[in-house]
């Protein structure tokens, strides 16, 4: 009797859950993934649909393994969150009308992929769990499941290395074993990549062995210009008579900073918080404009040393060209034409002379770092938070082939104390872990100040 009852319960449970799914179709799509993290890359996307509404798949299974040796594969499987032996793995559900939603697992992070699937095409968006857009996907189904290589990746690597060696600021480094080993592995394994996804992932993996930031490969179909809307990047509000200026990047017109400080001076707060957490940098123009409202006298932001500086083997900085005004193009032109460029900031007509706290974290990078290093020397400015990212070099964009571009550091950055902060970062005077209470803690610091 017990056996009969147990069998009945098990059958009832299975009937409630539904019968096991049966694979209906497996199709392969050639897609373009437009992402702010890795550019416009093409890859083959395998989609499996089941009779119970389940959908899964992703990039081609096991293909990433061909780009790496055994030890590297172990590291990737352990640290990169590879699921189902795919660089990108999808798992979710779809409806009869073609609407679908899946989890989107990748080395970039775990997101959601929502869109429309029909007999011949797929289209959708990749977002975080809070709905922040991370990219778009669109593509067509292949008539045959043949996967030809999309580019001559070995040829791209050769152009990559040639361009790197001719533009990198330190000519000594390209003769060292660390770079030569990197180059050898890239050339050896690039022939194995079946699409842009596997190629770009392998390049970034091997780039991790180099002791410099600001080196990247990028595919840009239309060579798009940066079109950041400043409303999403810069915001200001008054809270408990403390001004809070939130700057997510320096990729906007510098006049926006002037407009925000007009509001600040009108409010006349008892202190100012400038939040640079997760600010990955941008153009030097807006950063200099910000500094003008904060410094009380001419302040040096450090030196940028070009390839010609290292080739000349000089250690003198008195011949540096001073850069104190202008955008990214003028700055890059100054680096290309001179051995050394010193960034200097002069105070504007009006400066904010009350307590200022600048919040940074481990993702505060690039343009932010020399600025906060220089500003923390001001008597009324305090740097708060975590050590910054340590990603501070000047980098130029060089065209390769097939819409691929190389970002290569064309100048080193050193502080006024002649120290590099690349791979080191800037350490705040007041260390605070970045969490939901950080802003509240900094507001308390301002109210306790007695100037």
In angstroms, the CA 101 to CA 116 distance is 9
Distance from CA of residue 174 to its chain's centroid? Answer: 25
In angstroms, the CA 202 to CA 65 distance is 10
Place 16 in a pLDDT band, splitting at 50, 70 and 90.
very low
The confidence score (pLDDT) of residue 11 equals 40
In angstroms, the CA 166 to CA 171 distance is 8
Q: Which three-class secondary structure state does DSSP give residue 357?
A: strand
Place 80 in a pLDDT band, splitting at 50, 70 and 90.
confident
Residues 6+ apart with CB under 8 A from 70: none
The confidence score (pLDDT) of residue 235 equals 93
Q: What is the mean pLDDT of residues 424-449?
A: 89
CATH 2.40.128.120 positions along the chain are 18-141
- Among the listed ranges 87-96, 140-149, 189-198, 240-249, which one has the minimum average pLDDT value? 140-149
CATH 3.90.226.10 positions along the chain are 230-448
DSSP state of 431: E
| CATH number given to 18-141 | 2.40.128.120
DSSP state of 174: G
- Among the listed ranges 56-60, 394-398, 446-450, which one has the minimum average pLDDT value? 446-450
Place 7 in a pLDDT band, splitting at 50, 70 and 90.
very low
The confidence score (pLDDT) of residue 347 equals 84
What is the Cα Rg of the chain in Å?
A: 26
98 Rama sector, left if φ>0, alpha if ψ -120 to 50, beta otherwise? left
In angstroms, the CA 103 to CA 91 distance is 5
The confidence score (pLDDT) of residue 2 equals 46
Place 251 in a pLDDT band, splitting at 50, 70 and 90.
confident
**Cβ contact 111:104 at 8 Å:** yes
**Cβ contact 138:42 at 8 Å:** no
Question: Looking at the DSSP assignment, which residues form a beta bridge with residue 358?
Answer: 274, 383
For the domain made up of 230-448, give the CATH fold: 2-enoyl-CoA Hydratase; Chain A, domain 1 (3.90.226)
Place 399 in a pLDDT band, splitting at 50, 70 and 90.
very high
**What share of the chain in percent tops pLDDT 70?**
93
Backbone angles phi, psi at 398, to 5 degrees: -120, 130
Backbone angles phi, psi at 248, to 5 degrees: -85, -25
Place 231 in a pLDDT band, splitting at 50, 70 and 90.
low
Asked whether the predicted pLDDT for residue 97 surpasses 70, the reply is yes
Dump strand ranges (E) for 321-415: 321-323, 340-345, 356-360, 381-385, 393-399, 404-414
Place 449 in a pLDDT band, splitting at 50, 70 and 90.
low
DSSP 187-240: HHHGGG--SHHHHHHHHHHHHTTSS-SS-EEEE-TT-PPP---HHHHEEEEEET
Q: Where is mean pLDDT largest: 14-23, 396-405, 428-437? A: 396-405
**Average pLDDT, whole number, for the chain?**
89
The confidence score (pLDDT) of residue 20 equals 59
Asked whether the predicted pLDDT for residue 5 surpasses 80, the reply is no
Q: What is the mean pLDDT of residues 383-398?
A: 95
The confidence score (pLDDT) of residue 217 equals 96
- Among the listed ranges 196-205, 219-228, 392-401, which one has the minimum average pLDDT value? 219-228
Instruction: Count the helix, strand and coil residues of the chain and give each as a percent rounded to the nearest 5.
Output: 30, 30, 40
Question: Looking at the DSSP assignment, which residues form a beta bridge with residue 56?
Answer: 48, 91
Which residue bears the tokens 């022939």? Answer: 191
The confidence score (pLDDT) of residue 224 equals 59
The confidence score (pLDDT) of residue 12 equals 39
The confidence score (pLDDT) of residue 14 equals 36
pLDDT digits (tens, 9 = 90+) for 278-310: 999 988 889 999 999 999 889 999 999 999 999
- Among the listed ranges 9-23, 150-164, 235-249, 276-290, which one has the minimum average pLDDT value? 9-23
The confidence score (pLDDT) of residue 146 equals 83
Q: What is the largest CA-CA distance in the chain?
A: 97
- Among the listed ranges 128-137, 173-182, 216-225, 349-358, which one has the minimum average pLDDT value? 216-225
How many residues does the structure list for the chain?
451
Place 151 in a pLDDT band, splitting at 50, 70 and 90.
very high
131 Rama sector, left if φ>0, alpha if ψ -120 to 50, beta otherwise? left
Backbone angles phi, psi at 65, to 5 degrees: -65, -25
Backbone angles phi, psi at 325, to 5 degrees: -155, 140
Helix locations, 282-417, DSSP H: 284-292, 307-312, 328-337, 368-375
């Amino acid at each position: 009797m017990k056996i009969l009852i147990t069998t009945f319960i098990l059958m009832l449970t299975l009937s409630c859950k539904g019968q096991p799914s049966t694979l209906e179709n497996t199709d392969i799509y050639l897609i373009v993934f437009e992402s702010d993290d890795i550019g416009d890359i093409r890859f083959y996307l395998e989609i499996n649909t089941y009779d119970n509404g389940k959908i899964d798949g992703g990039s081609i299974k096991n293909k990433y393994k061909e780009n790496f040796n055994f030890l590297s594969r172990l590291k990737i499987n352990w640290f990169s969150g590879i699921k189902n032996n795919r660089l990108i793995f999808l798992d979710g559900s779809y409806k009869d009308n073609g609407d679908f939603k899946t989890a989107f697992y990748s080395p970039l992070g775990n997101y959601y992929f929502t869109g429309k699937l029909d007999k011949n095409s797929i289209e959708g968006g990749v977002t975080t769990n809070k709905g922040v857009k991370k990219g778009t996907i669109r593509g067509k189904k292949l008539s045959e499941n043949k996967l030809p290589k999309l580019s001559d990746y070995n040829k791209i690597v050769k152009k990559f290395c040639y361009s790197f060696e001719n533009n990198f600021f330190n000519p000594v480094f390209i003769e060292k074993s660390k770079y030569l080993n990197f180059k050898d592995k890239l050339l050896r394994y690039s022939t194995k990549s079946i699409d842009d996804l596997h190629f770009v992932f392998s390049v970034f993996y091997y780039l991790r062995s180099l002791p410099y930031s600001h080196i990247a490969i990028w595919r840009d179909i239309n060579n798009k210009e940066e079109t950041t809307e400043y409303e999403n990047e810069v915001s200001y509000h008054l809270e408990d008579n403390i001004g809070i200026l939130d700057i997510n990047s320096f990729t906007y017109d510098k006049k926006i900073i002037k407009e925000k400080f007009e509001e600040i001076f009108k409010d006349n707060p008892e202190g100012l918080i400038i939040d640079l957490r997760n600010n990955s940098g941008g153009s030097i123009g807006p950063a200099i404009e910000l500094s003008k409202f904060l410094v009380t006298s001419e302040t040096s932001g450090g030196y940028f040393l070009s390839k010609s500086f290292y080739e000349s083997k000089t250690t003198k900085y008195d011949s540096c060209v001073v850069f104190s005004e202008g955008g990214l193009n003028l700055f890059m032109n100054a680096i290309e034409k001179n051995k050394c460029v010193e960034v200097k900031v002069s105070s504007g007509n009006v400066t904010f002379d009350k307590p200022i706290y600048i919040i940074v974290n481990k993702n505060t990078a690039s343009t932010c770092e020399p600025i906060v290093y220089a500003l923390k020397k001001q008597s009324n400015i305090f740097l708060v938070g975590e050590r910054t990212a340590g990603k501070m070099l000047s980098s130029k964009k060089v065209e390769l082939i097939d819409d691929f571009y190389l970002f290569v550091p064309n100048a080193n950055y050193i502080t006024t104390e002649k120290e590099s902060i690349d791979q080191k970062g800037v350490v705040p005077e007041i260390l605070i872990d970045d969490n939901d209470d950080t802003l509240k803690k900094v507001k308390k610091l301002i109210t306790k100040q007695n100037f």
